[in-house]
Every structure is written in structure tokens, then in C-alpha cells.
Amino acid sequence: MKKLIKYIIYLLILLIVGYNSVYFKKLSDINKLSTEKFNAALFSKILWEEKMPQKVDSSIDFSQLKQAVNNNEADALKKHTNAMGIGNYRYALIKTKATVLSVYEDEVTIQLPGSDTATIATEYIYGNAIRDASELVAISDFPNTTELNSISEELNKIVRTYVLTSFKKMVKKGQTLTIIGAVELNKAHIKWNGLELLPVRIQIVN
């Protein structure tokens, strides 16, 4: 009799523990969570305001990057550039002073230190250069490329809205600029002349 009572008590304990360890959730709640969209605009805004300033301040000088690549290309690209995928294209945040040579509707041509010229894109800000050059996003942190691409789109939108709107109204030929921008380098054929800069910070000095 005592064995039977002990057996019943043991079964009751198992049932209680088992019941409390099971977590029930409404199917509608699960579906709601699974369809919740990644807020790329908010995520990118936080990146821009809280993380990007430090990256901008630590950007490499254009002349320094050029010299480093010319001295030891493999080491320089590994140290000073970034890429999220496999391929020849690498991205870097560079800083430089420049003189405005020409102002067009969708770009500004500039003279870089030395004999190199470049363009500042002022209208068509697209692609992943700003996102990848910043090194603030890792591909392993996101489940799909859609979210990664949406971050690029939002960062590009921030640049068009907050960096370029006033600059486009004020820039004139002959002015001196300080620029920090993202550039794309093709490691199979690096060209310093004719680079396109996607600006993340730009100032008219005089």
C-alpha cells in the first residue's frame, strides 16, 4: 500500500513539473512575431548617430591610403578597407582636402592632393559603399540580404537628405572642401585618378 501511495505521489510530481515546463503560445502571436518586419530606418538612424561619427573621425587620409597600397597592396587593403563578400571590390572611408573644379547637376568634380581628380556624387547615392566602408554591419548578424540591402538604402537616404541637400545649394567652383567619403577600389585594377566619393561628411572651407 505504501509503495502504491509513493508511486502515485511520484506521478503527480512528474505531471506538475511537466506542465510548468511547457510554454503555450497562441498561434496568432507566433505568426505576428514571424512576420514582424526589420526596421531598417530606425536601425540605420542609430548607426548614423551613435556609431558612424567614430568611424568618420578615424577615417584614413587619401594620400596615406594611396601610399600604403603602393608600398604593400595586400596588407594595406586588409588593414584599411573592407568587403562583406568575396570578390575584387573593397571599400574604404577616406578623408581629404580638395578643390572644386566643376559643379554639375548630379556630381562635383574635385582636385585631390597631387594630380588626381575625383567626383563627389551628389544625386545618385546608391549601392553598398557607405555601409561596407563603415564596417559597422556584419553579414553574420542578419538572416538575409534583404535586410542588409535595406540598411544600405537607408544610409544612402540619410546622406542625400542630411549631408548633400545644403551642400548642393552652396558649392561653387574654386572652393576648398574637406571631405570624408566612401570609395570603392577594385583590387584587380586599382585606379586613384577618377575615384567616386560618396560623402558622409563634407564641409566648405572657403
**Dihedral sign, Cα of residue 193, residue 67, residue 76, residue 147:** negative
pLDDT in tens, 81-103: 999 888 899 999 999 999 999 99
Q: Is residue 13 part of a domain?
A: no
- Number of domains comprising the chain: 1
pLDDT at 45: 96
Residue 2 has pLDDT above 70, yes or no: no
Q: Is residue 10 part of a domain?
A: no
Q: Which amino acid is at 138?
A: A
140: CATH: 2.40.50.420
**pTM for the predicted model, two decimal places:** 0.80
Q: Is residue 45 part of a domain?
A: yes
Q: Is 167 helix (H, G, I), strand (E, B) or coil?
A: helix
Q: Which residue from 197, 168, 203 is spatially nearest to 181, judged by alpha carbons?
A: 197
Helices 62-71, 73-80: inter-axial angle, 10-degree rounding = 140
pLDDT in tens, 168-202: 999 999 999 999 999 999 999 999 999 999 999 99
CA atoms within 13 Å, Cβ hemisphere of 149 = 3
Adjacent-strand bridge partners of 202: 179
Q: Is residue 105 part of a domain?
A: yes
Q: What residue numbers bound the domain in which 90 lies? A: 39-204
H helices of 22-114, in order, are 27-34, 40-46, 52-57, 62-71, 73-80
